[in-house]
Structure 1
Amino acid sequence: MSLGRLAGRARFCVRCRSPRPFMPVTVEQLGPHDAEALRGLLSKDPVHNLYLLGLLEEFGIAPRGRVPFAFYGRFDSQVLTAAVFVGGDGGLVVPSASDAGATSVIADALSSRLTLRSTVGDKSSVDALLRSLAPGKPRLSRTQRLFSVSADDLGPFTNPLLRLAKEEDLPRLLPLAQGYVREVHERDPLAEDPRGYEARVIQRVRQRRTYVLEENGALVFKVDIGSRSQYGAELEGLYTLPAERKKGHALLCLGQISRHLLSSLPRLTLRIDERDESTARIARKVGYLAGRTWRLVLVE
């Protein structure tokens, strides 16, 4: 039985996990009536909560289709102080940019009901999740730096040839998408789930979230809009074919898409592996500023 079904809207005492209504500190699954409170919490730090703000705007606070997900919140005297997104029964867990102690309270409440398989977010909050939900050694752990930019910070780098990907690009796009996952996640998505991964790539194309650069009939660069809301967008999947690197493609195309998106959005973010100094230098040239440390973890 899921946490959200237990005792309806009764709140649960965090220490004893018994149904005691109106305790000062409680954890519960959020519903439609909590949407404004969740949006208010996340918008206090929009840079570090852009991913969750995009999920909230795109999917809402409760599932309307077949894909299962939920938001869980920590309430202190009925005030929402932290939240955690759980997608696919633990397939993706994302904490809000809140105090790690508050995130830990949610993790403890979910520990007997949730199997965490992957998580990304502010490092201290992700560490708090892992202590309760995945105490063993993960398959992969990456420390990342969150970069952000606004229109006032942009440099002069552009490439007007960057364009939205089309469905007919799929045979040439898949190797780039596959290459990115191999480098960042150290796994081959086409070997593990070829139909499922191809469907996810084409879905992003249909949603107008993938941009590509074509040269001499070949796609040499791609970037995705991972999450988007009125508060901004998070870019991901920045990838240049190895043979085409050090030619300025990433610099000019990152500048181009940033300028394009910032004509209608207040900010953009981009997560970069702390070992990837080359991409970090490109981001800084475009105008991105380094923020807090994030962590990406794949448990399975």
Structure 2
Amino acid sequence: MPITVQQLAPTDTDALRALLAKDPAQNLYLLGLLQEFGIAPADHRSSFSYWGRFDGKTLTAALFVGGGGGLMVPSASDGSATGVIADALAERVRLKASVGEKPAVDALVRSLCPGKPRLSKNYRLFAVSADDMGPFTNPLLRLAREEDVPRLLPLALGAVQEIYGRDALAEDPHFEARVAQRVRARRTYVLEENGEMVFKVDIGSRSQFGAELENLYTVPSQRGKGHATLCLGQISRFLLSSLPRLTLRVEEKDESLARIARKVGYLAGRTQRLVLAE
């Protein structure tokens, strides 16, 4: 069968969803993007597109390209399948950031990143279902409100600095607005103790197949008190009352967060890679 690479159209939505649903835990981020934004027509002036590898008429791998390479997310597949798409796009885009299963991201870096990435980290993807949950809860964890944004901002900045080694305010003049938008979208949960905001967690992607948690952050002075364990258990139980699974990316050298995830009931899966080229 001939192998081709094509930009996906709205008529490919069912095929893309079916491909991603074969490995929903690994593809939760893409499933969330697909549910929230759909697939834009090829002739539409959109800030993102999907590209697919076809074996004959069968879609066998896919790649989300946002902002001309500003964010590239491959479907879970072996590196060779993603590499075919990357090679076909070599004259169109340059990779600026990518996250996904390590062999697939490695293939993107080889074809679309001419220099050494500024940041490259390996993660383990942890997943949990309702049957795996431990007894950890904290009912004081709550949705963040708009009036919380000034106090939430230092935690959001701390999370970016700790996870990515970046000064978010210096690099992104719209960072505070993005934090506020996430709060308005009901995707940020916070914990207060004695009037101090001490913990935050975001829902990064959500669909009928599950949700991915991200940016767990406890202020340094409050670490070692069990906040992360109890709050991760709380939000996980809450979300799993209506969703089949949750995932969480944990940097491979972050043994502390890995222990917390396992304690709550999360199971380690395959290796992920995050790359920032600019």
> Normalising to structure 1: TM-score of the pair?
0.90
| Equivalent position of 1:248 in the other structure | 226
Q: Report the count of equivalent residues.
A: 277
Task: For residue 159 of structure 1, give the secondary structure of its aligned residue in structure 2.
Answer: coil
The code of the aligned residue for 1:209 comes to: R
The offset of 1:133, in angstroms, is 0.3
Whole-angstrom CA distance in 2 between matches of 1:142 and 1:51? 18
The code of the aligned residue for 1:170 comes to: V
| Equivalent position of 1:41 in the other structure | 19
Unmatched tracts of structure 2, length 5 or more: none
Instruction: Assess if the C-alpha contact under 8 Å between 1:165 and 1:210 holds in 2.
Output: yes
Among 243, 249, 261, the residue aligned to 1:271:
249
Instruction: Assess if the C-alpha contact under 8 Å between 2:10 and 2:41 holds in 1.
Output: no
Task: For residue 274 of structure 2, give the secondary structure of its aligned residue in structure 1.
Answer: strand
Q: 1:17-28 alignment to 2 at 5 Å?
A: 24-28=2-6
4+ long deviations beyond 6 Å? 63-66
Instruction: Assess if the C-alpha contact under 8 Å between 1:91 and 1:117 holds in 2.
Output: yes
Instruction: Assess if the C-alpha contact under 8 Å between 1:63 and 1:69 holds in 2.
Output: no
Unmatched tracts of structure 1, length 5 or more: 1-22
Whole-angstrom CA distance in 2 between matches of 1:77 and 1:209? 40
Matched, 1:223 2:201: yes
Matched, 1:148 2:127: yes
Pair 212,63 (structure 1): closer, same or farther in 2 beyond 3 Å: farther
The offset of 1:63, in angstroms, is 7.2
The offset of 1:135, in angstroms, is 3.8
| Equivalent position of 2:62 in the other structure | 83
Q: Deviations over 1:167-186 (max 9, x none)?
A: 00011100000000001111
Q: Deviations over 1:80-119 (max 9, x none)?
A: 0000000111100000001211100000000111011000
Structure 1 range deviating more: 211-220 or 155-164? 211-220
The code of the aligned residue for 1:186 comes to: G
| Equivalent position of 1:239 in the other structure | 217
The offset of 1:62, in angstroms, is 1.4
Matched, 1:116 2:89: no
The offset of 1:66, in angstroms, is 7.4
Matched, 1:180 2:159: yes
Instruction: Assess if the C-alpha contact under 8 Å between 1:232 and 1:268 holds in 2.
Output: yes
Calculate the aligned-residue CA RMSD, in Å.
1.3
Among 151, 158, 165, the residue aligned to 2:137:
158
Whole-angstrom CA distance in 1 between matches of 2:13 and 2:183? 29
Bigger-Rg structure (1/2):
1
The offset of 1:218, in angstroms, is 1.3
Q: Deviations over 1:245-297 (max 9, x none)?
A: 00000000000000000000000000000110000000000000000000000
| Equivalent position of 1:105 in the other structure | 84
The offset of 1:199, in angstroms, is 1.1
Give the structure, 1 or 2, with the largest relative contact order (CA under 8 Å, sep 6 or more).
Answer: 2
Task: For residue 224 of structure 2, give the secondary structure of its aligned residue in structure 1.
Answer: coil
Instruction: Assess if the C-alpha contact under 8 Å between 2:33 and 2:205 holds in 1.
Output: yes
The offset of 1:153, in angstroms, is 0.1
User: Identity over aligned residues, as a percent?
Assistant: 74
Among 30, 50, 56, the residue aligned to 1:71:
50
Whole-angstrom CA distance in 2 between matches of 1:63 and 1:298? 28
Instruction: Assess if the C-alpha contact under 8 Å between 2:99 and 2:273 holds in 1.
Output: yes
Task: For residue 221 of structure 1, give the secondary structure of its aligned residue in structure 2.
Answer: strand
